[in-house]
Structure 1
Amino acid sequence: MADRSSNVPRPVSLSVHGDRHFDGLGDKFATSLYGSTRGEIRLAVLEYLLPQMLSLHEQPVLDVGAGLGHMSAWFAERGHPVTLAEPSAEMLDAARQHLAGHDATFLPVPLQRLGQAAPGPWPLIVCHAVLEWLGDPRAAMSTLTSLLAPGGQLSLMVFNRDALRFSNVVKGNLDKALTDRLAGTGRRQRLTPISPLMHEEIVAWATECGLEIRAVAGVRVFYDYLRDRQPDDESLAKLIELERRYCTSEPYWRLGRYLLYTLTKSTPHAPDRAESSR
């Protein structure tokens, strides 16, 4: 009899912090996200937005929850020394291969331990598609703020709860939308986030942490609502053009599958000469 154990999904458990980590899912990420049309659109929109939303001058970057290293590679290719923090050993090994030859440091630690492992302060922190997989995303915002240098920038991307609700309505999952049963459990192989977030939450938490939202955009504002998600090359090019054209415009950005923010940490007020002489 053939051994079927390799076809049985591994049981998934949450971390001690209630977070979802991704050991055993590296191949699924590579194929179902980055190897798919939705992943191609996501990266194409980010490549368009990041140079507009961030002030980039080859400063060091801390990539929190770096996954397979796609964003770190993007920054490294543009001259930034990058430090990748990723709790999944499998994902971090793949990122090492992805960034071979680049100026990169790899830290096998979760976000909660970065205060000890990479205290900084950092001029630029990237945290994309991470908070929605954490048991306490609000506390994570505080941790990220503590790592950020005064005047530093945080590029934050989160999974949009409002878009998830809209998508469920479009698919006919009306009871699920009415009862607000949108979050995943984090204990199955499916990649539905355990803590999808709303724009209002990010605004409130940013205010609590003393961060200023300098820019906001939606990522994949159209694609996830299409009936046909397998466009040909010509249609895909047109779709990417539309995604880029409307990703920062009302009302479209609000229904992006992801919400992308640039947040800055205020610099301490320096007293002027008159004040200091008193």
Structure 2
Amino acid sequence: MARQLDEQMAGRFPVGRRLRVLDVGMGQGTQALRLARAGHRVTGLERDARMVSVAREALAAEPEGIRARFRIVEGDGQDTGVHFLPGSFDVVLCHGVLMYVAEPDPLLAGLARMLAPGGLLSLLVRNGDALAMRPGLAGDWAGALTAFDSAVYRNRLGVDGRADRLADLTATLAGIGAPLHAWYGVRVLTDTAPDGTEPPADPTALLAAEERAGRTDPYRRVAALLHLCGVRG
């Protein structure tokens, strides 16, 4: 997914421009730190104090220049208007968050307001059009039948989440002024790998196959996750 995000950023902004990036629900800060290392000015917003602590520890180990470009704010992604002014960012990331938000539309509208004109909104969501794939491929026929008509699921950690459908998010993004520009499938071919599976010594072919599937119909439509990129008008 990092390659897809970099591709969209490179296609929208001049080469070498230091972008203002907001990572909502940054977790332990992996993606945000990667972008700060690339020269961008990054703000990470996270409400989980444990994740904030991990992110601060990782940041403390970085050179001073990177630390100066990475700001961490402890807070809820649904309160972006409290922390930031509208139009403050060129790129807003919201990866792996919507599946734990009961009513995502207000959150998405708030994220769109944070974008400057021409800004990029990057979302990573659970694919509601493919919830039957994992139980079906695992031979859980009852689970697959239930999933066809459901928007909820339980992840491998036993945590309940909510899935989004591509058509619904496309309409939502258009309604909040950040129409869908591009989308990809994530974990198309690898989602059913058993927990603890060791990657191959040389993962080049695996990554290439997953990348190709994530860009190609019909494969991307049955991905476990969807990566959507909207652009602020």
Is the TM value for this pair above 0.5?
yes
Aligned partner letter, 2:57? Q
**Residue 47 of structure 1 pairs with residue 2 of structure 2:** yes
Which of 58, 81, 93 aligns to 2:18? It is: 58
2:176 alignment partner in structure 1: 209
Aligned partner letter, 2:162? S
Provide the rounded CA distance (Å) in 2 between the counterparts of 1:116 and 1:63: 15
Percentage identity across aligned positions?
Answer: 28
Provide the rounded CA distance (Å) in 2 between the counterparts of 1:236 and 1:219: 16
Change (3 A) 1:229 1:206: same
Which of 176, 190, 200 aligns to 2:158? It is: 190
Pick the structure with greater CA Rg: 1
1:52-95 CA-partner distances (Å, limit 9, x unpaired): 12235321100000001011011101101110100101101111
Provide the rounded CA distance (Å) in 1 between the counterparts of 2:157 and 2:31: 24
Q: Tell me, what secondary structure is at the counterpart of 2:179? A: strand
Aligned partner letter, 1:252? Y
Q: Provide structure 2 residue ranges, at least 5 long, that are not aligned to the other structure.
A: none
**Residue 154 of structure 1 pairs with residue 121 of structure 2:** yes
1:208-255 CA-partner distances (Å, limit 9, x unpaired): 212221111111110013579725524633211111222111111112
TM-score normalised by structure 2 residue count: 0.85
1:113 alignment partner in structure 2: 79
Preserved contact between residue 93 and residue 123 of structure 2 (Cα < 8 Å): yes
Pairing 1:46-195 to 2, within 5 Å after superposition: 46-54=1-9, 55-56=12-13, 57-100=17-60, 101=62, 102=66, 103-121=69-87, 122-180=89-147, 181=150, 183-184=152-153, 190-192=158-160, 194-195=161-162
Deviates more, 1:60-69 or 1:91-100: 91-100
Kindly indicate which of the two structures has a greater share of residues assigned to strand: 2
Q: Tell me the C-alpha RMSD between the 2 structures.
A: 2.3
Aligned partner letter, 2:85? P
Provide the rounded CA distance (Å) in 2 between the counterparts of 1:232 and 1:248: 22
Provide the rounded CA distance (Å) in 1 between the counterparts of 2:212 and 2:175: 32
Aligned partner letter, 1:239? L
